[in-house]
Structure 1
């Protein structure tokens, strides 16, 4: 009997590499759609047009789309266009590919983002799938267009789940290695006023949550993938400061962050927007987090960075 097949679109980055290893250990055969296919289980695609790769979707247990241009850039017109189109084009063509299959994938998981919710300040309740307040800025509109494209295709035989993923913490990718490197050098102080909420998820719980969604066919629609305990930015930076104990501390007011973001060709929104999100549907379905608190997550991950 052949192992179940998981197709990863855009699966060569931080999240994709972890998912490949995780599902391979779980007994899946994992094949990747990549712009630079090289290995036997990598298939070439451009993220926009149908091609020979479509045949690989026949009979797949899971299709997981992680494709999308990085948002770690300046939000000028050219980059905004590329950010939106990389997400909507890849989602559209995957929907077309599934529709053309005689034996389509049983489950389509498509990336989205917890940034779809508006900036949530102070003691306001965390955004849940049922009661979250959708924002109106550029990042929120990207997420809405992404999910709209995902829901557009008529696919009666394929279950669909949009993954509204928060910041994923890992020792070998994502935001944490950069935050840790800066904290060692004294930049373990709050970003701006430090009251903005940070929603996050340990990489192990991210992989476990994806596996949980595969195993629970009643779950469909949009789900928040985040730990149940968001924390203020100042609290996150304090955890890093306690671990690294730098000899000096450099303040990070907003005006200085704006200059730094300009020089690094990125946007301060990535660290200044307040993201307060709760994984209501995961918890109600019975998912148990291995790392529910950021303190526990960092205690596991930071020694791997030292």
Structure 2
């Protein structure tokens, strides 16, 4: 019988990578999205049928946070996460043979701005503000479902790096056009993970069926913004990069219709539980990750 995995919101950078890799491993991949060729979010029966006898459900759905936080966008960011999670939970409850594992996205942004110490699952401090409120509501909705036959894991994902898109594109463009200096003070921490490691974490969690709850998904060696931009300039053979002060970033973010939080918040997150359980990262350091990404661009 064909193995089956369901990707909810699987049309973005991470979802496309997961679709390719699961297909390569011989899985039948079902995708739930708002795109017409996929299972639509408003078809509860089709979603339930897709989930029947699936090995894994991976929920990546959610409006991009790369936008201005006006009232309309805030509402869409929140609802696109909580409502889709509710739809999936209800569909699992309607299954005769529900998925063995439900992996739901969360975000490392749930922790406070941290320049003093790293955040772990056990010792991390939850922050404040809109982005944190979204993360908390997302996880609360997910864990409100008490499922007997389906393990539940929430992934607090750091900035995902990989070839062919994602956040690497704007960062590389900054360096390319001589704007690859520090952002703000440059002291803010940049927690990241290579998309290949993120995929392997899902396989690891599938294999180790005693694991559930919250996991930080970030490489074990985070860097400062200053280190990030310096390493990227070196890899791209750019000898200089103009810095961007906070006030400059505010103006730029306004023009680009985004928020400075995406580059100025200090995300200092460590994958304590994964390390304790024996997960081995392929890309532990930014240097190694960038070598791979830039070679495959």
TM-score range (shorter-chain normalised) is over 0.9
Gaps spanning 5+ residues in structure 1: where?
none
1:12 Cα shift? Answer: 1.0
| Residue-by-residue CA offset, 1:161-191 (whole Å, 9 max, x unaligned) | 0011000101112111210111011111001
1:245 Cα shift? Answer: 3.4
2:233–2:239 contact (8 Å) kept in structure 1: no
Corresponding position of 1:243: 235
1:247 Cα shift? Answer: 6.1
| Residue-by-residue CA offset, 1:225-282 (whole Å, 9 max, x unaligned) | 1100110000000011112233653221110010000000000000000000000111
SS of 2:259's partner is coil
1:37 Cα shift? Answer: 3.5
Corresponding position of 1:186: 178
- Structure 1: 4+ residue segments shifted above 4 A: none
With 29-38 and 144-153 compared, the bigger mean Cα shift is at: 29-38
Corresponding position of 1:143: 135
2:180–2:229 contact (8 Å) kept in structure 1: yes
Corresponding position of 2:35: 36
Corresponding position of 1:53: 47
Distance 2:187 2:35 in 1: 41
Corresponding position of 1:287: 279
Q: CA RMSD in A?
A: 1.2
Distance 2:240 2:128 in 1: 39
1:45 Cα shift? Answer: 2.2
1:65–1:110 contact (8 Å) kept in structure 2: yes
| Residue-by-residue CA offset, 1:82-128 (whole Å, 9 max, x unaligned) | 1000000000110110111111111100010010000001xx33111
Distance 1:279 1:97 in 2: 31
1:45–1:51 contact (8 Å) kept in structure 2: no
1:303 Cα shift? Answer: 2.6
Corresponding position of 1:256: 248
Distance 2:158 2:238 in 1: 28
Distance 1:143 1:75 in 2: 15
Distance 2:32 2:64 in 1: 17
Corresponding position of 1:115: 109
Distance 1:98 1:211 in 2: 20
1:86 maps onto 2:80 in alignment: yes
Alignment length (residue pairs): 297
Distance 2:74 2:133 in 1: 11
Return the TM-score normalized by structure 1: 0.94
Return the TM-score normalized by structure 2: 0.97
Distance 2:177 2:284 in 1: 28
Corresponding position of 1:16: 15
1:112–1:164 contact (8 Å) kept in structure 2: yes
Distance 2:227 2:123 in 1: 26
1:68 maps onto 2:67 in alignment: no
1:134 maps onto 2:126 in alignment: yes
Distance 1:51 1:225 in 2: 32
1:159 Cα shift? Answer: 0.3
